[in-house]
Structure 1
Amino acid sequence: MARRRLRTLSGQAFVSARNKGAGMAVGLIEPGRSTGIHRSAIVTLLPAAHGRVVLRDAGTDVDGTLQDLPQFGPMGSVCAHEVLGIPEPRVGLLNTGEEWCEGSRLCQEAYSLLKNAPIRTGAIQV
């Protein structure tokens, strides 16, 4: 039923209490990925000192590529704007340090692509 509502645009989101793989599979069948999106990712809302934050790619994408990661930033920004009402969300790439020259080569290269996106970006040290 949820898939049908999304397909007919009378629904806005798909929420599942089942396992991640099943939820992702249902979302890929109907309504499917948006044009230009190569890989879907799970979004999790987490509490933070200033309210809530959106964690994008929350556990299903262990094989993310350089092509995928910069797409997650704008999608997370739209989610934070639409769901949490944040006027200009800041998007951070989880990294092992606060500087963009730190971390894996994948993170460094993803940041170089992400910083050209029309969103506010920053680093998040883990």
Structure 2
Amino acid sequence: MQDRDYYLSLRRKYEPAKPKLVTVAEAPPASGGAKSLFKGDTHPDFVIFVWFIDATAPDLCRIFVVPAQTVSNDVLKAHRHWHSRPTREGQQPKGADRPVISWKGRDMERSISNNFSEKWKKYEDAWKLLDG
């Protein structure tokens, strides 16, 4: 885990002159036909996730530098998996239009949206990926 000054220095180094807002969690259609989480024709190369571990200590965080295509593929796969399985009552899951992932927990038969801190472990503090 890097300290806050290191994170801020990297943020300043890679901060674009004209930042753009990127929609990361575009809701895929219920039909499951979405090919990407990203809206529009221009997709980012990477997504930076900052997981604040403790609300009482905001400097304690884990940072993941994940290729955008990996984010899109993995999150859509987890979303489609969850959406394809009915609830215990046999109903369509509520909120099926919103992809959700969790950093911890364990995957189960009905949901593979958990434990992304392990699934993407190789991307933790992977700032070197931004060097091209």
Normalising by structure 1, what TM-score? 0.23
Structure (1 or 2) with the larger CA radius of gyration: 2
Normalising by structure 2, what TM-score? 0.22
Q: Relative CO higher for 1 or 2, CA cutoff 8 Å, sep ≥ 6?
A: 2
| Structure that is richer in strand per residue | 1
